[in-house]
């Protein structure tokens, strides 16, 4: 299943670069407008180094992705995305292959890392508002014995619904929090990015 990890990371990287302007535009409504630019630089570095990344173990691969993102992206975005990949890699440790049983623990560890680093949680109008429910849907679909395509599709649907549900929320973290009430009625760029990424991976998996 190690090739699957490469496939997912590659899809994420390509999708982030494709949506750089869109993510920044969303972030520009109440944030500082650099979200898309920041994470795109991280994944640009990942793609630039793609052929040189250590693939000996899935954990090593994910940890290297983390260090590349952190080295290329300043500020909070680099820390949060880097932490997510690092935490997922740490869960894998020295295991030689990822199994379906590893997926949810990897996501849960990544979520805990993001919460800690970003001092944020569900309801703060951040990417966690789409990511946490999507992982819940992922876990439910896995437990129900669904196929890979079904699992990803269900997670993508929930990620999109919950990203849309950030619109009436008041931002409590990041630059958007400084705008107070003005953040109400806007979509959170990070949550929308999560929805877009889940949808892209789901579609790519089907194809």
CATH number at residue 100: 1.25.40.340
pTM: 0.93
pLDDT at 3: 87
Kindly report the number of other CB atoms within 10 A of residue 48's CB atom: 11
Asked if the model's pLDDT at residue 203 lies above 60, the reply is yes
What distance, in Å, lies between the first and last C-alpha atoms of the chain? Answer: 17
Q: Write out the residue range of the structural domain in which residue 106 sits.
A: 2-206
Cα 111 to the center of its chain, rounded Å: 9
Using 50, 70 and 90 to split pLDDT, how confident is the model at 12? very high
Residue 158 in tokens: 């929930």
Q: What is the mean pLDDT of residues 118-142?
A: 95
Cβ–Cβ under 8 Å, residues 149 and 161: no
* Cα 84 from Cα 62, distance rounded (Å): 9
The string of pLDDT tens digits covering residues 26-54 is: 988 877 788 999 999 999 999 999 999 99
Using 50, 70 and 90 to split pLDDT, how confident is the model at 88? very high
The tally of domains found in the chain comes to: 1
């Amino acid at each position: 299943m190690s090739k699957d990890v490469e496939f997912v990371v590659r899809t994420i990287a390509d999708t982030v670069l494709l949506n750089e302007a869109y993510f920044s535009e969303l972030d520009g409504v109440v944030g500082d407008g650099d979200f898309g630019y920041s994470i795109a630089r991280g994944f640009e570095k990942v793609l630039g180094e793609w052929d040189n990344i250590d693939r000996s173990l899935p954990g090593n691969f994910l940890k290297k992705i983390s260090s590349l993102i952190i080295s290329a992206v300043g500020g909070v975005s680099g820390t949060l995305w880097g932490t997510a990949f690092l935490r997922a890699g740490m869960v894998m440790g020295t295991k030689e292959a990822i199994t379906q049983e590893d997926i949810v623990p990897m996501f849960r560890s990544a979520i805990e890392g993001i919460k800690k680093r970003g001092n944020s949680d569900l309801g703060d109008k951040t990417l966690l508002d789409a990511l946490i429910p999507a992982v819940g849907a992922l876990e439910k679909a896995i437990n129900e014995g669904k196929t890979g395509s079904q699992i990803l599709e269900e997670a993508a649907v929930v990620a999109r619904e919950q990203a849309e549900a950030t619109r009436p929320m008041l931002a409590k973290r990041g630059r958007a929090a400084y705008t107070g009430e003005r953040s109400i009625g806007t979509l959170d760029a990070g949550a929308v990015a999560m929805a877009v990424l889940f949808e892209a991976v789901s579609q790519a998996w089907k194809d």
